């Protein structure tokens, strides 16, 4: 969250005063970050020249400097309307050392390796490719930025709030006198997303101006801060349980944990929380928790809505691969739309870092004998297949150790198919699965645990897996065979010129296809009779949704021993997404979405795969793994899937909600929608009233109740919007949680932006109660 301010013309004396304030603010923020006196950080604060690289002909020197808030990086621009540009370190996704990005590899030479680095941003913001004056300076830039990012991330929510408010207050001090006038106070409130009328602003100001000087300063500003950050709802909760001289003893805290949070806690657990989060050393020594310590606890992982036991891998990972939902990406190489958007290896890196376990590669013949990846028959640029495989190797297991499926849509001729095979073998090495695990012909998939750290190729191939275990030599025809096309591909069926068109597959590539052989789908009966477990079909969304609606139980039974991949319609030129929930309800494992496109559907995908250690594999409920299952999400007959729950949600308050408009005067009118996604009977939505002109600390205090029949398949989404009576509401933030990962009791809900990135300080405060239906 950033405060925006206009530049003011200053006199010489004001300039001197301003410079002194800048230095003092920088020292304060260095201390807050735990980096007081750090030489790398001081280097960033002094700033320096960097060569910005955009192309072979566009390489220009720009001055970069970390601002005194130790959070905002400023750099000059030669554009008339953008002479100065800034971005927050909170917007940085990663810093790459050396010539790792496509731009630096293409437009700079090996000699600059030690001086080069790149800043990659969250969302769709273009990365910065930079060259420092020397290797030593490059290290200082990289080390300094990494320290700031790391220490900023490790700040407690309360410290983040303090840091942000402090920065906003200083920026509202227009005449740099460390005092706040009534006008400056109102400007400050607007900057933190609160709009108040003049009468209320006057009352608030007079309450703090105890000296009656017409300004507030020093201790008066501290008083203003306390009024601003005071949370009445915490007072009420704390007061109800703090029975030991107005403080909370271990017994008091244990009562709260047992009664409100429904924790199976002990006296020892309560004592550990006091020892961990109490800020007052005297209170801690007496085994007491103050209100500040209690609030600190509620802001920590123990006080968040997501069950911490589900944050690590907690499910059985020894089931066959097809018994899991698998986080899957479509057109992974794209950064934007599929007609003319950029292609990049960064698409793969971003998806893999988010836990994606199935990435797609549309492969075509390239010049100079090198296969390329791009969206065929469009203006999307080409990237080398070998560069993608290299990027996948480097980032596949950063977030999850479990297997990655390489889904190849193969349009290459025989020669370049051989090159593809060579690249995968040479780059991925022993991590590439090239033969079945074990010495005998398998009868089912291996498990994610058995395939840890491995790559599986999904593509068309010739012959059967059984052939690898046959003593008989099979006749080959010129190293290739023909095979009917399956449903793979983006074109609509009515536009296909020849559905039975044949293609040739090189033996070298075919030999790499072991557990995921692409085959066409000719109906469930045909699949039962002819399809081996390792043969899988890809379904266009329209066909998959129709099957999930009209033949749900048959689809579920099909998916109990085979894999199904779903992909978006080729008509989605904007790379939008379809609703994945009905496909998960039908047991489909590889429900591929456009990871590059912010959407409700991607929020749901992120929410589902947030659990189980973000491994990218979620074990399907037992009734989706049983070949004789009677489960049908549409009709919902009686069975083990019916486990009816009542969900009680009290939406209490919000904290530091971001603006939807960068204008200093803009303020949001937030409302909260609580949405249930799952089987049709469970799908529901309820919303609060909106709170006018307050995104900093809105209070709703509204109760909702939901009946949930199949909690195993339900997702709960908290959506915060800016109310607009004349047009559609604007998105502020959201959080999606699997129903079974909800925590009971009072908890904070972290919020994510449209790109799925965490909003560092924004949260809502709720009370959750899940009880069995009578």
Say how far apart CA 44 and CA 145 lie, in whole Å: 8
- Residue 198 and residue 220 share a domain: yes
Residue 61, annotated ligand binder? Answer: yes
Strand (E) or helix (H) holding 530: helix 524-530
Residue 531: its pLDDT value, please?
94
- Residue 142 and residue 203 share a domain: no
Boundary of a domain, candidates 229, 245, 276: 229
The tokens describing 326, both together, are 């698998």
Residue 722, annotated ligand binder? Answer: yes
- Residue 199 and residue 120 share a domain: no
Boundary of a domain, candidates 194, 229, 264: 229
Inside any domain, residue 103: yes
Inside any domain, residue 18: no
Residue 10, annotated ligand binder? Answer: no
Inside any domain, residue 745: yes
**CATH number for the domain including 688?**
2.60.40.150
Q: What is the DSSP letter of 435?
A: S
- Residue 345 and residue 272 share a domain: no
DSSP 567-628: E--TT-TT------HHHHHTT-SEEEE-TTS-SHHHHHHHHHTTSGGG-SEEEPPGGGT-TT
Beta bridge partners of 653: 699, 765
Say how far apart CA 193 and CA 654 lie, in whole Å: 12
Inside any domain, residue 382: yes
Residue 12: its pLDDT value, please?
66
**CATH number for the domain including 252?**
1.10.238.10
Beta bridge partners of 677: 715
Per-residue CA distances from 771 to 75, 208, 474, 745 (Å): 54, 46, 62, 12
Inside any domain, residue 480: no
Residue 454, annotated ligand binder? Answer: no
Residue in 405, 415, 414 with CA at minimum distance from that of residue 462: 414
**CATH number for the domain including 117?**
2.30.29.30
pTM for the structure as a whole: 0.89
Residue 68, annotated ligand binder? Answer: yes
Cα angle value 165/169/173 (rounded, 5°): 170
Tally Cβ neighbours within 10 Å of residue 313. Answer: 18
- Residue 519 and residue 560 share a domain: yes
- Residue 249 and residue 144 share a domain: no
Boundary of a domain, candidates 92, 122, 154: 154
The tokens describing 323, both together, are 């018994």
The tokens describing 354, both together, are 């988010």
Q: What is the DSSP letter of 766?
A: E
Domains: count for the chain: 5
Catalytic residue among 299, 323, 375, 558: 375
- Residue 396 and residue 532 share a domain: yes
Decide: 418 and 509 in contact? Cβ < 8 Å: yes
Residue 75, annotated ligand binder? Answer: yes
- Residue 428 and residue 523 share a domain: yes
Taken as a whole, the chain contains a residue count of 774
Inside any domain, residue 523: yes
Residue 350: its pLDDT value, please?
93
Mean pLDDT by 10 residues, the chain (774 residues): 46 67 82 89 93 92 91 75 73 91 91 94 87 96 94 82 76 74 84 79 85 87 83 96 95 97 94 94 95 92 94 97 97 82 89 96 93 83 94 96 97 96 98 93 96 97 85 50 43 42 86 96 94 96 96 97 94 90 98 94 97 97 97 93 97 93 81 98 98 94 98 98 90 97 97 91 95 87
Inside any domain, residue 637: no
- Residue 380 and residue 518 share a domain: yes
- Residue 680 and residue 610 share a domain: no
Residue 1: its pLDDT value, please?
43
Say how far apart CA 584 and CA 296 lie, in whole Å: 38
Q: What are the start-end ranges of the E strands in 148-287?
A: 248-249
Say how far apart CA 382 and CA 411 lie, in whole Å: 14
Say how far apart CA 29 and CA 218 lie, in whole Å: 18
Exposure letters 727-747 (e unless 16+ CB within 10 A, then b): eebeebbbbbbbbbbbbbbbb
Domain that holds residue 366: 321-464+504-624
**Phi, psi at residue 30, to the nearest 5°?**
-60, -40
**CATH number for the domain including 375?**
3.20.20.190
Say how far apart CA 204 and CA 210 lie, in whole Å: 11
Inside any domain, residue 711: yes
Handedness of CA 458, 464, 470, 475 (dihedral sign): negative
Residue 69, annotated ligand binder? Answer: yes
User: Is there a catalytic annotation at residue 411?
Assistant: no
Residue 55, annotated ligand binder? Answer: yes
Catalytic residue among 330, 423, 558, 748: 330
- Residue 584 and residue 671 share a domain: no
- Residue 574 and residue 707 share a domain: no
Say how far apart CA 1 and CA 183 lie, in whole Å: 22
């Amino acid at each position: 969250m950033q405060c925006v301010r206009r530049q003011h013309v200053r006199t010489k004396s004001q300039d001197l005063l301003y410079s002194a304030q800048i230095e003092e603010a920088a020292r304060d923020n260095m201390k807050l970050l735990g980096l007081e006196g750090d030489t790398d950080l001081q280097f960033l604060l002094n700033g320096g020249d960097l060569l910005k690289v955009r192309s072979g002909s566009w390489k220009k020197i720009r001055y970069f400097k970390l601002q005194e808030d130790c959070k905002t990086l400023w750099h000059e621009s030669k554009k008339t309307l953008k002479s100065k540009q800034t971005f927050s370190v909170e917007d940085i996704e990663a810093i790459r050392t050396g010539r790792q990005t496509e731009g630096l590899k293409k437009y700079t030479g090996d000699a600059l390796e030690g001086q080069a680095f790149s800043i990659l941003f969250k969302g769709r913001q273009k990365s910065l490719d930079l060259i420092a004056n020397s290797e030593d300076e490059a290290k200082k830039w990289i080390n300094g930025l990494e320290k700031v990012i790391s220490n900023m991330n490790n700040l407690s929510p309360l410290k983040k709030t303090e840091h942000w408010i402090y920065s906003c207050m200083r920026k509202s001090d227009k005449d740099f006198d460390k005092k706040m006038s009534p006008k400056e106070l109102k400007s400050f409130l607007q900057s933190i997303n609160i709009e108040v009328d003049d009468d209320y602003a006057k009352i608030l100001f007079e309450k703090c101006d105890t000296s009656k000087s017409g300004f507030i300063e020093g201790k008066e500003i501290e008083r203003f801060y306390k009024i601003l950050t005071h949370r009445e709802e915490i007072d009420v909760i704390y007061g109800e349980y703090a029975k030991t001289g107005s403080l909370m003893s271990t017994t008091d805290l244990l009562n709260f944990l047992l009664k409100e949070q429904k924790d199976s806690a002990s006296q020892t657990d309560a004592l550990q929380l006091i020892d961990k989060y109490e800020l007052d050393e005297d209170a801690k020594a007496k085994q007491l928790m103050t209100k500040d310590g209690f609030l600190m606890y509620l802001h920590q992982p123990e006080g968040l809505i997501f069950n911490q036991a589900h944050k690590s891998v907690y499910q059985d990972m020894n089931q066959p691969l097809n018994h899991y939902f698998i986080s899957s990406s479509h057109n992974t190489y794209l950064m934007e739309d599929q007609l003319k958007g950029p292609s990049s290896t960064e698409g793969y890196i971003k998806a893999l870092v988010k836990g994606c376990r199935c990435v797609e590669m549309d492969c075509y013949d390239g010049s100079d004998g090198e296969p390329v990846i791009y969206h065929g028959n469009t203006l999307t640029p080409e990237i080398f297949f070998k560069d993608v495989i290299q990027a996948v190797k480097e980032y596949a297991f950063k977030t999850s150790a479990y297997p990655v499926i390489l889904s190849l849509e193969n349009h290459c001729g025989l020669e370049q198919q051989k090159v593809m095979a060579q690249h995968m073998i040479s780059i991925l090495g022993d991590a590439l699965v090239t033969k079945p695990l074990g010495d005998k012909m398998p009868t089912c998939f291996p498990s994610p645990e058995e395939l840890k750290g491995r790559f599986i190729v999904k593509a068309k191939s010739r012959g059967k897996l059984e052939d690898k275990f046959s003593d008989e030599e099979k006749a080959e025809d010129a190293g290739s065979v023909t095979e009917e096309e399956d449903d793979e591909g983006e074109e609509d069926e009515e536009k296909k010129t020849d559905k039975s068109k044949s293609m040739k597959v090189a033996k070298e590539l075919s030999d790499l296809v072991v557990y995921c052989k692409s085959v066409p789908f000719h109906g469930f009966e045909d699949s039962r009779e002819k399809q081996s477990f390792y043969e899988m079909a890809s379904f266009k969304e329209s066909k998959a949704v129709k099957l999930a609606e009209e033949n749900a139980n048959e689809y579920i039974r099909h998916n109990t021993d085979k894999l199904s991949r779903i992909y978006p319609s080729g008509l989605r030129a904007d790379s939008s997404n379809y609703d994945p929930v009905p496909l998960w309800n039908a047991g489909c494992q590889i429900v591929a979405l456009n990871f590059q496109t912010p959407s409700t559907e991607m929020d749901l995908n992120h929410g589902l795969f947030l659990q189980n250690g973000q491994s990218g594999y979620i074990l399907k409920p037992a009734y989706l793994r049983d070949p004789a299952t009677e489960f049908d999400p549409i009709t919902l007959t009686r069975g083990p899937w019916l486990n009816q729950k009542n969900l009680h949600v009290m939406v209490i308050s919000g904290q530091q909600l971001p603006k939807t408009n960068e204008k200093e005067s803009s303020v949001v009118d937030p409302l909260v929608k609580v949405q249930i996604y799952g089987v049709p009977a469970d799908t529901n939505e309820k919303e609060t009233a909106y709170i006018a002109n307050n995104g900093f600390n809105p209070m709703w205090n509204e109760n909702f109740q939901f009946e949930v029949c199949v909690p195993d398949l339900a997702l709960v989404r908290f959506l915060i919007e800016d109310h607009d009576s004349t047009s559609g509401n604007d998105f502020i933030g959201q959080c999606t949680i699997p129903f079974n990962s909800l925590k009971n009791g009072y908890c904070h809900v972290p919020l994510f932006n449209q790109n799925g990135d965490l909003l560092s300080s924004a949260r809502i405060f709720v009370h959750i109660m899940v009880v069995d239906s009578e």
